[in-house]
Structure 1
Amino acid sequence: MAASHDHIFRAYDVRGIFNKDLDVSIMQKIGIAFGTYMKQKNGITITLGGDIRASTNILQHAFLSGILTTGVNCELVKESPLGITLFNSFNKNYIASAFITASHLPPDWNGIKFYWGEGIGFSPEENEELYQIYKKNLFEQTDVFNLGSYKIIDPYSDYVSYLKTKFNFQKNYNIAIDCGNGATSLVIPELYEELGFDVSHIFSEPDHNFPNRTSEPTEESLSQLSTFVKDSNVLFGAGFDGDGDRCVFTDENGIVISSDIYGLIISEYLIQTQSEKNILINMECSLSMEDYLKSIGANPSRIKVGHSFLSLEAKNQNAIWGIESSGHAIYPNVFLFDDALILPLMLVNALEYFNLPLSKLIERYPPSIKKRYDLKCDDKYKFQRIKDVIQYLDNKDGYLNTLDGVALTNDNGRILVRASNTSPKVRITIEALNQQNYDIIEREYLNDLTDIIQI
């Protein structure tokens, strides 16, 4: 790959603008590299899926043609939410899965994520190994008599059957779903109806232009879901991202709740109903989460941001639950991967257990004020900027944590600065228990940090 394209290989995946950073020839070569990597790991068959973006089908077949030249076989899922593709390898014990997507990024972007068969995303080190095969042309291709084969499959019915063995509900609840015209539109409302729900839904027609809202579920982008929920008699609302690995909720009144609060609800439900106590929260999760989890008998553990870290640490630490502030979550009792389609099912189980409406249930959890600022910063410089920030914060009062970026915690609250692993940004998150303390942190640090990052 030319040096100008090196940046598309990121910590968790490959991402770039179609026909600018990422085209058919590049994706075919990535397929050859991936097939070579699988052969080195003694892999025979993988699953390949993709979301509903306009370029997905083209890139999917380019990747497929590359991997077949290495002699590795492929089951092709075509368009689907992420979880259904990953389920196929999980269910059939295949070595790995690959999924064409750019998640929540704009329509002109695309990319590919890699997962091991049980659902753990490739680590940054494993993605680097794959990149080195690509960059150095260390390919292991076969002759015409030993090419790989492929077939088109649909794992949907097996997926639904599996979920029915994991979830049971007391009655047919009415829930509201906003698919955002993304990949979850391919299976909603049918999936939840088959599981026994009455489903009210909006933006449930696949459309690669994402005409009704951005593919990232936020309080702002879910405003129409909030209005829809207010006018409906539903248990809650749920809004999905573009490929179905993240979900954000509203209560029954249409008020968007943070993923931190959702994470606490599920944590408390699981702590009270299961014997294991290990809970994972990433560095962006609220400070108050950690204290509350300890107060209810959980063993919370902070981890780096990223779905691959979430899955891997869930396995290594025997965690019963893991949550990220962005809406990614892992429930290892069902899957080791971040399938957001199961998150509404977990919330229904929790609401049944506590026997409270969601608006009342969230009142028990500690409030905090938290806001994230996304600053543009070239991929070439953003990690150096983090080093500059560490140097700046090193002589400030408080506790410094450099697990993922740098976090400074003091009596007023916390400020976290970290480089995005998926886009050219540095993110600053400020958190405090009240507005007065939040304002103190913002006044003291935000302008200085912005100047350091955006030199």
Structure 2
Amino acid sequence: AYDVRGIYGQDLTPEIFLLLGAALSEQFSEFCTCSDTRISSPALRLSLIAGLLGGGAKVVDAGLGPIGLAIYAAKHRRYAVGYVTASHLPPEWNGLKLYEPGGRPISLEDLDRLRESVERGVSWRAKREAKVVIEESLLNSYSEYLRSLPRAAGNLRVVLDCGNGAASLVVPNLLRELGYEVITVNCDVDPLFSARGCEPTAEATSFLGDPVRRFQADVGVAFDGDGDRVIFYDEKGRPLTPEQAAVVMIKGHKVRRVIANVECSWLLDRFVKETGGTVEIVPVGRIYIIYKSIEGYGGLGVESSGHYVTYEGANLDDGVASLLYFLEAVSALGGPVSSHVPPTPLARRLKLHVGDEMKFVIVERMKERLSSKYRDTTTIDGVRVDLEEGWFLVRPSNTEPVVRVTIEAGDEASLKRLEELVREELREAGAPL
């Protein structure tokens, strides 16, 4: 919802990126472009550059790299940045993520203004002298910056799966230079992500457990297509949830302040509060943990989809920085990863197809009903109810005509009771069940 996305050749074309570039040139006189490694990214990036030049902008093209390259260029080099990517989506998709100078991702309001500018019609009368500078050294500068982040590194064996994506360009060499022993899987760039797709779910990366056990590795890790999402495995070859991985980070770095989205498991909230820390709850979406970090909240940001903001927001939700932070925590704690991981509560997720307009109506009705019945409710994104035996969240999807329901409880009986309770409330609110 906070970037441009579509299927290449259908609702996303080079012509659209040409117009986007021209519209962006009206806002920024200097602009940095870069992209992930999917098959349509070079064509779209070059179209974006052509549009920027047509509007009179100076363009610094950093070429291919993980999304951390774009964040680095915006946050530390102070460029406005356009990064061509569809992140974890299949190879036929592509899109554009935009950053302001300083690293702040553009808001929905900014995106709406950009859309209006394109629809209004762009001017091809360049107001400034346009030029393009090829800056391939920016990827090396980004890698050097990453090397400076950990206070201590090395002495761990890591099985690394880059998913044939953009992380392949940086992470294997980076880890070896930092002293880690690295066993690589899917670390050659493949624009079609043929091996396992580009979304690093526990199901898609389940094969990683075998090399982790076979090579007696300390940690397994897998990235998505552009390197912002990451999933970790313990030494037994078991995937960690984002919240479990966050607990390892919190323990190893002695974190006291955590930003977590409203969908995060209560194991995270309970652990932080039991150890004397505080949790700031934000809506679902990577952009909210980023904004809170930019505002100076500090600490660790955790998104239930596998995004993290680490090193006090040093490079925002860069998955490569998150990996370095996790490995540093594991080294600091000593012992196997599994010994530092709390068990996960039982969970159930429901997905109700209701239509784009109706999803908001149903969730508003649920807010009214549940807020009047339960004391511990959170309504920053849908409605979450916390009870002694568990919790549930009902919220509208950001990207689909769907109402999403998440339920967690400590045992099967409680989980079943909460699901029955939620289903009854949804029926009363008019949801089709």
Same fold (TM over 0.5): yes
- SS of match in other structure, 1:111: strand
**What does residue range 144-183 of structure 1 map to in structure 2 within 5 Å?**
146-169=129-152, 171-183=154-166
- Alignment-derived partner of residue 280 in structure 1: 259
- Alignment-derived partner of residue 240 in structure 1: 223
Q: Is the 8 A contact 1:82 1:245 kept in 2?
A: yes
Q: How many residues align?
A: 432
Aligned partner (choices 23, 33, 37) of residue 33 of structure 1: 23
Aligned partner (choices 16, 20, 27) of residue 10 of structure 2: 20
Whether 2:45 is the aligned partner of 1:68: answer no
- SS of match in other structure, 2:174: helix
Whether 2:112 is the aligned partner of 1:133: answer no
Greater Cα offset, 313-322 or 148-157? 148-157
Cα deviation 1:331-387 (Å, max 9, x = unaligned):
25462421101222112211222212101111xx36412333344555555434433
Q: Is the 8 A contact 1:382 1:419 kept in 2?
A: yes
**What does residue range 270-419 of structure 1 map to in structure 2 within 5 Å?**
270-271=253-254, 277-333=256-312, 335-362=314-341, 365=342, 367-376=344-353, 378-379=355-356, 381-391=358-368, 393-394=370-371, 396-397=373-374, 399-419=376-396
Per-residue deviation, 1:99: 0.9
Q: Is the 8 A contact 2:294 2:313 kept in 1?
A: no
Provide the rounded CA distance (Å) in 2 between the counterparts of 1:323 and 1:255. 20
Whether 2:25 is the aligned partner of 1:46: answer no
Per-residue deviation, 1:93: 2.2
Distance 1:105 1:453, change over 3 A: farther
Per-residue deviation, 1:327: 0.8
Provide the rounded CA distance (Å) in 1 between the counterparts of 2:402 and 2:163. 24
Q: Structure 2 regions of 5+ residues with no counterpart?
A: none
Residue identity opposite 2:62 in structure 1:
V
Greater Cα offset, 243-252 or 109-118? 109-118
Provide the rounded CA distance (Å) in 1 between the counterparts of 2:350 and 2:252. 32
Provide the rounded CA distance (Å) in 2 between the counterparts of 1:377 and 1:65. 41
**What does residue range 179-218 of structure 1 map to in structure 2 within 5 Å?**
179-218=162-201
Provide the rounded CA distance (Å) in 1 between the counterparts of 2:120 and 2:150. 47
Distance 1:353 1:332, change over 3 A: closer
Per-residue deviation, 1:114: 0.9
Provide the rounded CA distance (Å) in 2 between the counterparts of 1:384 and 1:73. 46
Q: Is the 8 A contact 2:57 2:129 kept in 1?
A: no
- SS of match in other structure, 2:405: strand
Provide the rounded CA distance (Å) in 1 between the counterparts of 2:188 and 2:316. 25
Residue identity opposite 2:420 in structure 1:
R
Whether 2:387 is the aligned partner of 1:429: answer no
Provide the rounded CA distance (Å) in 2 between the counterparts of 1:29 and 1:194. 42
Q: Is the 8 A contact 1:90 1:117 kept in 2?
A: yes
Provide the rounded CA distance (Å) in 2 between the counterparts of 1:394 and 1:290. 21
Per-residue deviation, 1:223: 0.8
Per-residue deviation, 1:395: 5.5
Q: Is the 8 A contact 2:75 2:315 kept in 1?
A: no
Per-residue deviation, 1:405: 1.8
Aligned partner (choices 97, 100, 121) of residue 113 of structure 1: 97
Provide the rounded CA distance (Å) in 1 between the counterparts of 2:91 and 2:203. 19
TM-score scaled by structure 1? Answer: 0.87
**What does residue range 79-98 of structure 1 map to in structure 2 within 5 Å?**
79-94=64-79, 96-98=80-82
Cα deviation 1:216-235 (Å, max 9, x = unaligned):
11111111111221211211
Cα deviation 1:404-444 (Å, max 9, x = unaligned):
12222233322112233245543221111222211111233
Q: Is the 8 A contact 1:69 1:148 kept in 2?
A: no
Distance 1:181 1:372, change over 3 A: farther
Distance 1:374 1:332, change over 3 A: farther
Distance 1:141 1:281, change over 3 A: same
Distance 1:63 1:259, change over 3 A: same
Distance 1:409 1:28, change over 3 A: same
- Alignment-derived partner of residue 86 in structure 2: 102
Cα deviation 1:224-265 (Å, max 9, x = unaligned):
111221211211100111110010111011001110011122
Per-residue deviation, 1:177: 0.9
Q: Structure 1 regions of 5+ residues with no counterpart?
A: 1-9, 39-43
Provide the rounded CA distance (Å) in 1 between the counterparts of 2:430 and 2:5. 26
Per-residue deviation, 1:151: 2.3
TM-score scaled by structure 2? Answer: 0.91
Distance 1:90 1:316, change over 3 A: closer
Provide the rounded CA distance (Å) in 2 between the counterparts of 1:376 and 1:54. 32
